[in-house]
C-alpha cells in the first residue's frame, strides 16, 4: 500500500541524507586538518611577540576549539536521538518522545545549549570566510557578508536552541 511505500521512501531518503552529511563531515574534518598542516608548514616558527588580534575576531580565534566541541556534540547527538544508545526514552519510542525525554533532563538540555553556541561561533566564521575563500571580498560589501553570516547563524542556532528551551519551559511536553 502507499503508506508502507511512503514510509520506506522516507526512511531511505533520511538514511541517504545521513550518509551525505557524514561524508561532508569527514571531508570537512580532513580539510581542516590539511589547512592546519599547511599553516604550520608556512610558518614553522611560532611568533616571538604577542599576537595582534585586531583583525581576527573571537569566532576566528576559536575555530579549532568550536570544531572539536561540535564534533563531540555530533557524536553525542547521534548516540542520543538517532541511535538511541544514551536516550532516556524507552526502546522503540518515537522521535518526538526521544526529544522530550532528552531535553527534559537539565544537564542534557544545557549541553545542547552550550554545543549549539559553539556551533554558532563556528558557523558564523565559516559563512563569513566562505565569501573570502571564493574571492568575493570587497570592503564595500563586507557589511553585507557580516549581516548574512549573522542572520544565517541566528536562524540555524536559534532553531536548534528552541527545542531544549521549549521542553525545559514546558511549552512542549
- pLDDT tens readout for residues 21-68: 999 999 999 988 898 888 888 877 776 666 655 556 777 778 888 999
| Mean pLDDT, residues 108-129 | 92
Cell digits for 151? 542572520
- Looking at every residue in the chain, the average pLDDT score rounds to 87
- pLDDT tens readout for residues 153-171: 999 999 999 999 999 999 9
Residue 47 is predicted with a pLDDT of 67
Cell digits for 98? 526521544
169 close to 139: Cβ distance less than 8 angstroms: no
Residue 160 is predicted with a pLDDT of 95
Look up the pTM and report it. 0.78
Cell digits for 32? 581542516
- pLDDT tens readout for residues 83-118: 889 999 998 888 899 999 999 999 999 999 999 999
The whole-angstrom separation of Cα 102 and Cα 127 is 30
pLDDT tier, 4 (very low <50, low <70, confident <90, very high otherwise): confident
* CA–CA distances in Å: residue 162 to residues 9, 73, 75, 167: 29, 17, 20, 9
Tell how far CA 77 is from the center of its chain: 11
Amino acid at each position: 500500500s502507499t503508506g508502507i511505500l511512503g514510509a520506506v521512501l522516507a526512511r531511505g531518503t533520511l538514511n541517504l541524507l545521513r550518509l551525505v552529511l557524514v561524508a561532508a563531515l569527514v571531508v570537512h574534518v580532513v580539510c581542516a586538518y590539511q589547512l592546519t598542516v599547511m599553516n604550520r608548514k608556512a610558518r614553522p616558527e611560532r611568533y616571538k611577540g604577542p599576537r595582534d588580534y585586531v583583525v581576527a575576531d573571537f569566532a576566528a580565534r576559536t575555530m579549532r576549539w568550536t570544531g572539536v566541541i561540535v564534533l563531540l556534540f555530533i557524536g553525542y547527538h547521534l548516540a542520543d536521538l538517532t541511535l538511541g544508545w544514551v536516550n532516556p526514552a524507552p526502546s522503540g519510542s518515537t522521535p518526538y518522545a526521544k526529544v522530550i525525554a532528552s531535553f527534559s533532563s537539565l544537564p542534557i538540555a544545557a549541553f545542547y545549549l552550550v554545543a549549539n553556541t559553539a556551533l554558532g561561533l563556528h558557523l558564523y566564521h565559516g559563512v563569513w570566510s566562505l565569501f573570502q575563500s571564493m574571492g568575493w571580498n570587497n570592503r564595500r560589501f563586507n557589511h553585507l557578508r557580516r549581516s548574512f553570516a549573522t542572520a544565517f547563524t541566528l536562524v540555524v542556532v536559534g532553531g536548534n536552541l528552541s527545542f531544549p528551551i521549549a521542553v525545559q519551559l514546558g511549552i512542549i511536553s
